[in-house]
């Protein structure tokens, strides 16, 4: 079960072939893409109503169609983990937010009230999270990792942070593979059905072993980097190119963000 | 001119494990030397010490007359290129091109020179077209070649390879040996190979040091060392099959023993031809 999870996790999280496609978003300069999606996320944070989120939602739903991204895959990827987690976090909101009462219950003297404002606030919160996750997912799916690194360098993100991100990306595959091999080796020697407590024990020992291996590999990688002249001033050098569609893309994002902000400031959304 | 001079080196790991002791080595510029020994003999540690990645507990090491110490580390690393045993340790960038240009950029070379060296390294190692490939998409053989390319692009005067043929299938192994030979032939490079797989050593190196439990137990020309199968077995090594086979032929078949023992198939063929010629 665990090995299936690891393999599927790797397949779902790191689909690089999509970034190799020659479609609309894939052709956009990574620096412009990074800037635009960051701007979109900031706009999302400032929006105070569901209506103000609509322009952003439309843009994010339309982009996958023009970028050869299977929508089902995109929806699945953006709707698991974080948005579901956000939905769980926002569960108390309908009960604790003051506003128009939609329903009330009396449970042995305890009055439970559900408000319309609370439900809208919860939905708003989940949508906001989904938009942020979708924007980042689109960025990752349509941009090769080296180009994202390059864009981060362009925006003067600290070198150490960039190097850490690059190394994490490089070695996450290695560790998933290593964990996968360890689990396979464990399964190969597991004959009778194990009790849950035994499974948990095994997983614990695999994880601790993986940490030790990670530490040892970290040491070896550092030595390999040092031998090739790595210092704190070292930089990863990558070339990027620009495309004519860049401005169209930027225009679409800015327009949708401006509309969203306009709606927010006019408070057309009403209930926030 | 001496490329490497090691005097009475001892190295103790922080956990108290004595990895090397009484190490004395002299390697001339342009020489091709093998460090042979079983697992745990101290070969990799010795390479780390030569590079300056570890500092000896006792003794001294000089590279082209420059003492290996923290002050000279930049000078040393511009002269020595080291290929690690596991290519996954060496390839840490998102794409192969970035990995290949990482070293030259750190040497402070201008962009056009870096690109020239990067392209040349790819060509030498037969990796043209792999520039944008992420290292995790490469096979183990390609990773090994890529790891060597990352060092070739730095134009080192000394090339150190740690177990270059480990985990390779015969075809890839032969390919890699040919690439290493090509590098040595085309560039005036000093080569140090650490390995316990000694079948390919006669094809590349002319001199060897045999290590056992952190000490040098024998040194000399490959032809002399490999003829002494007893020594190799005592050191925990397996003699080259062809050499071992000829030793058995000498003992049981040939009236007039063939000496020195052949180290490669070609040498063996020549020796048999000579033997047959003499008989007739």
Residue A30 has pLDDT above 80, yes or no: yes
Q: Do B253 and B234 share a structural domain?
A: no
Q: Do B84 and B15 share a structural domain?
A: yes
For the stretch B86-142, pLDDT in tens is 888 888 887 889 889 888 888 888 889 999 999 999 998 889 999 888 887 888 889
Q: What is the pLDDT of residue A267?
A: 66
CB B103 to CB A228 under 8 A?
yes
Q: Do B79 and B198 share a structural domain?
A: yes
The kind and range of the H/E element at B211 are: strand B207-212
Distances (CA, A) of B41 to B37, B215, B236: 6, 8, 10
CATH code for position B161: 3.40.50.300
Cα gap B204→B33, rounded to integer Å: 8
Q: Do B262 and B163 share a structural domain?
A: no
| DSSP-based three-state secondary structure for B60 | strand
Q: What is the pLDDT of residue A224?
A: 84
Residue range A7-13: average pLDDT?
Answer: 58
B82: in domain: yes
Q: Average model confidence (pLDDT) for chain A?
A: 81
Q: Do B207 and B172 share a structural domain?
A: yes
B86: in domain: yes
Q: Do B172 and B226 share a structural domain?
A: yes
Token pair recorded at residue B13: 């790991």
Residue A126 has pLDDT above 60, yes or no: yes
B10: in domain: yes
pTM of the model: 0.73
Domain count, chain B: 2
For the stretch A173-217, pLDDT in tens is 778 777 877 777 776 666 667 778 877 887 887 888 888 888 888
Cα gap B153→B116, rounded to integer Å: 9
In 10 A of CB B61, how many CB atoms?
23
Q: What is the pLDDT of residue B168?
A: 86
What's the domain range around B265? 240-280
Q: Do B280 and B179 share a structural domain?
A: no
Is the Cβ of B84 closer than 8 Å to some Cβ of chain A? yes
Q: What is the pLDDT of residue A272?
A: 44
Is the Cβ of A229 closer than 8 Å to some Cβ of chain B? yes
pLDDT band at B209 (very low <50, low <70, confident <90, very high): very high
Q: Do B244 and B233 share a structural domain?
A: no
Residues of B in contact with A237 (CB under 8 A): 98, 101, 105, 111, 114
Q: Which of A166, A220, A237 sits opposite B89 (nearest CB)?
A: A220
Residues of B in contact with A235 (CB under 8 A): 105
Q: Do B169 and B80 share a structural domain?
A: yes
| Cβ–Cβ under 8 Å, residues A78 and A137 | yes
Q: Do B234 and B209 share a structural domain?
A: yes
Q: What is the pLDDT of residue A1?
A: 57
Q: What is the pLDDT of residue B182?
A: 85
Residue range A31-58: average pLDDT?
Answer: 90
Q: Do B212 and B280 share a structural domain?
A: no
Residue range A115-137: average pLDDT?
Answer: 90
Q: Do B164 and B79 share a structural domain?
A: yes
Residue range A15-43: average pLDDT?
Answer: 85
Residue B27 has pLDDT above 90, yes or no: yes
| DSSP-based three-state secondary structure for B36 | strand
Is the Cβ of A236 closer than 8 Å to some Cβ of chain B? yes
Residue of B75, B82, B88, B150 to mutate for A, most A C-beta atoms under 10 A: B88
Q: What is the pLDDT of residue B241?
A: 85
B101: in domain: no
B146: in domain: no
| DSSP-based three-state secondary structure for B42 | coil
B100: in domain: no
For the stretch B140-160, pLDDT in tens is 889 999 999 999 998 899 999
Q: What is the pLDDT of residue A232?
A: 61
CB B89 to CB A146 under 8 A?
no
B119: in domain: no
Q: What is the pLDDT of residue A271?
A: 45
Residue predicted with more confidence, B261 or B28: B28
Residue range B229-248: average pLDDT?
Answer: 87
Q: What is the pLDDT of residue B118?
A: 92
């Amino acid at each position: 079960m665990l090995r299936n999870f690891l393999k599927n996790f790797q397949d779902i999280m790191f689909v690089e072939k999509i970034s190799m496609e020659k479609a609309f978003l894939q052709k956009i300069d990574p620096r412009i893409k990074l800037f635009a999606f960051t701007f979109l996320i900031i706009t999302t944070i400032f929006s105070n109503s569901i209506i103000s989120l609509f322009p952003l939602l439309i843009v994010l739903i339309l982009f996958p169609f023009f970028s050869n991204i299977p929508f089902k895959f995109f929806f699945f990827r953006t709707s698991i983990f974080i948005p579901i987690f956000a939905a769980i976090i926002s569960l108390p909101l309908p009960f604790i937010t003051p506003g128009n009462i939609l329903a009330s219950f009396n449970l042995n003297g305890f009055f439970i009230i559900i408000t319309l404002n609370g439900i809208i606030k919860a939905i708003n919160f989940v949508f906001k999270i989904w938009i942020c996750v979708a924007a980042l997912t689109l960025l990752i799916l349509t941009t090769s990792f080296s180009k994202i690194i390059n864009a981060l360098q362009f925006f003067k993100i600290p070198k150490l942070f960039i190097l850490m991100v690059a190394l994490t990306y490089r070695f996450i595959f290695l560790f998933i593979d290593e964990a996968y091999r360890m689990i396979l080796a464990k399964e190969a020697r597991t004959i009778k059905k194990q009790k849950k407590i035994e499974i948990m024990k095994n997983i614990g020992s695999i994880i601790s072993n993986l940490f030790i291996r990670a530490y040892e590999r970290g040491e070896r990688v550092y030595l390999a980097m040092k031998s090739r002249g790595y210092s704190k001033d070292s930089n990863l050098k990558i070339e990027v190119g620009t495309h004519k569609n860049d401005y169209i893309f930027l225009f679409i994002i800015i327009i949708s963000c401006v509309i969203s902000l306009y709606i927010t400031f006019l408070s057309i959304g009403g209930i926030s | 001119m001496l490329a490497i001079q090691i005097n009475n080196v001892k190295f103790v790991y922080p956990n108290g494990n004595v990895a090397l002791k009484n190490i004395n080595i002299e390697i001339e510029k342009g020489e091709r030397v093998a460090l042979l020994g079983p697992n745990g003999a101290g070969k990799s540690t010795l390479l780390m010490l030569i590079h300056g990645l570890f500092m000896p507990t006792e003794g001294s090491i000089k590279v082209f007359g420059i003492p290996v110490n923290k002050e000279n580390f930049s000078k040393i690393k511009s002269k020595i290129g080291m290929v690690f045993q596991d290519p996954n340790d060496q390839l840490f960038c998102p794409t192969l091109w970035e990995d290949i240009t990482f070293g030259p950029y750190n040497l402070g070379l201008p962009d056009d020179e870096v690109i020239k060296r990067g392209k040349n390294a790819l060509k030498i190692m037969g990796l043209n077209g792999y520039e944008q490939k992420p290292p995790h998409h490469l096979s183990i053989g390609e990773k090994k070649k890529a790891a060597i390319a990352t060092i070739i692009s730095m134009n080192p005067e000394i090339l150190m390879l740690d177990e270059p043929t480990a985990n390779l299938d015969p075809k890839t192994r032969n390919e890699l040996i040919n690439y290493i030979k090509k590098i040595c032939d085309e560039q005036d490079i000093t080569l140090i190979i650490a390995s316990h797989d000694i079948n390919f050593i006669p094809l590349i190196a002319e001199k060897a040091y045999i290590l056992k439990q952190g000490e040098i137990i024998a040194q000399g020309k490959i032809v002399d060392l490999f003829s002494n199968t007893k020594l190799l077995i005592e050191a925990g090594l397996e003699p080259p099959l062809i050499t071992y086979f000829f030793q058995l032929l000498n003992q049981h078949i040939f009236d007039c023993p063939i000496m020195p023992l052949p180290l490669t198939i070609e040498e063996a063929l020549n020796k048999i031809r000579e033997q047959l010629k003499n008989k007739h």
